[in-house]
Amino acid sequence: MGSFRVGQLGFGHRLGLTGVLGCLAVGQLAGLSHMRTHFDKRDDRPGFTVDDVKSAYRGLDAPSPLLASLNAGHPDGLKPDERKVLIAWLTSGKIEQDYDNPDLGVASPREIVAASCLQCHSVRADASKVDANARKLTLDTTADIKKVAFSRQVLPTPADKIVVSIHAHAPSMALMALAVMALATFSRWSRMITGGLSALCGLGLAGEFAGMWFATSGGAWINVLLASGAAFHLSFALLTLLAFAELWLPGCANSGACCGGGTKGKCNGQPSSSEAKQP
């Protein structure tokens, strides 16, 4: 060992390995975009957030933001009987049907919101008088209301499905990691760099699957899953780039560093410099 470098391989090998690296990279990108679309609405809200991942593995029981803030006594000036109507409406299970219903108490929820909330939570709220944080939440339309009125309850992915997913992904992703690690390691790049990235890649992958496996048993494992996943994807991408650069960057044949050691003869079809220097 010690002397072989991937960049020394002939044109055909390098072409073939380039195709392989390309597929690995595309696979990785497709996987990430699938993650996004797959998890995006997982927590009942558009946009890919940590809540999506949490709800996928542990389920989610997030109370309605409207209800939570009413229960916490917000806003200060709301009359108690109006607060009662809003709370009854939000916990009725008929949030959409009853928004305009005047029979719930002193007024319909819509009227109460218009009278007691919109001076602050509206696109038309006076920016010079109203807190910017209040204007981040608008309650003007029914669609606005629907965004914050519902509690979100999401059932976790069943444990056996997670096991099947690990079964499908762990061996294949480990082999992918092995491939880029090997290609990047037997290259011109310093072993410190490729070793560090390999450690990050391998441990990241192990951490990702450990996180998946244990995610249902404790919230901290979600963080392990996310941090390890990020470490894996980043180092995998860098190792792929290093391997690709090793295949095609010039200099391997002429640097001597690349064709050093015991390799005699030609390197990429040209005499290696260590050989050329010899008398």
CB 141 → ligand HEC: shortest distance, Å?
A: 14
Six-digit token string for 133: 């944080």
Token pair 């629907």: residue: 146
State in angstroms the smallest separation of the CB of 75 from ligand HEC.
Answer: 4
Distance CA(133)–CA(30), nearest Å, equals: 37
Q: At its nearest, how many Å lie between ligand HEC and the CB of residue 72?
A: 9
> What's the CA gap between 83 and 220, in Å, rounded?
37
Q: Considering the complex, what minimum distance in angstroms separates the CB of residue 235 from ligand HEC?
A: 36
Q: How far apart are CA 72 and CA 21, in angstroms?
A: 55
Shortest spacing between CB 64 and ligand HEC, in angstroms: 8
- Judged by beta carbon, residue 66 or residue 237, the one nearer ligand HEC is 66
Closest separation between CB of residue 241 and ligand HEC, Å? 40
CA 205, 236, 51 angle in degrees (round to 5)? 55
The encoded tokens of residue 259 equal: 């064709």
Using the CB atoms, write b or e for 186-220: b if 16+ within 10 Å. bbbbeeeebeebbebbbebbebbbbbbbebbeeee
Q: Please, which residue, 147 or 266, has the CB nearer to ligand HEC? A: 147
Q: Which is nearer to ligand HEC, 74 or 264 (CB)?
A: 74
For ligand HEC, the closer CB: 13 or 74: 74
Residue 122 or 157 with smaller CB distance to ligand HEC: 122
Contacts of 74 (CB under 8 A, 6+ apart): none
Sign of CA dihedral 81, 83, 85, 88: negative
Spatial distance between the Cα atoms of 5 and 92, rounded to a whole number of angstroms? 69
Question: Where does this chain bind ligand HEC (CB under 6 A)?
Answer: 65-66, 69, 74-75, 78, 113, 116-117, 119-121, 131, 133-134, 137, 148
Task: Give the Cβ contact number of residue 113 at 10 Å.
Answer: 21
